[in-house]
Structure 1
Amino acid sequence: MVRHVMSGWIMARLCQAKKQQIIWQKQLKPQEIHQLILLVATGLQEARFRMHRCWLIKQVARLKDTQKKSHRYRRVITVMQEKAGYSTRKAL
């Protein structure tokens, strides 16, 4: 139930962000970004994420700079890229 509600929140946030062309780290708190990354990493293969995943991976990849390339974020981003069928170079 919680995950479903959060998925709805993420999709609303995605649509809003895509319309406004905002950069995630300026709009979301670090904790929210982390929750977003984890949920999307687990839900990338779901149909509702498919049309957004390429754009989302590029946005999340930008977090590498803001998060000082911490191991946790690098690993999650790598998992996201693997699930989406991207190589690291191609996504960046």
Structure 2
Amino acid sequence: AVGKGVCGKAIELDMSMLVKDVNEFPGHIACDADSRSELVVLLRDADGAFGVLDLDSPLPGRFDKEDQAGIEKLAAIYVAACEFED
């Protein structure tokens, strides 16, 4: 849901979320008990965000700003390559 967990917070704030330690993120929803860090990147089209790409790692601090920038580029390529019908 919007505003709930890291994915929901990313949608609510309309921005990617880089969480070095999910145990320090208020309201984190554990989909995987081994998850320690998370990177959430929005999937956007002309109408705005319609989904997220959610990466989890069992290692704290696994993702950094360089990873975020690369995944944001990958997400943009993916969205551009998709044909969405109304």
**Which category describes the TM-score, using the shorter chain as reference length?**
under 0.3
Return the structure number with greater strand share: 2
Q: TM-score, normalised by structure 2?
A: 0.28
- Structure showing greater radius of gyration is 2
Q: TM-score, normalised by structure 1?
A: 0.27
Return the structure number with greater helix share: 1
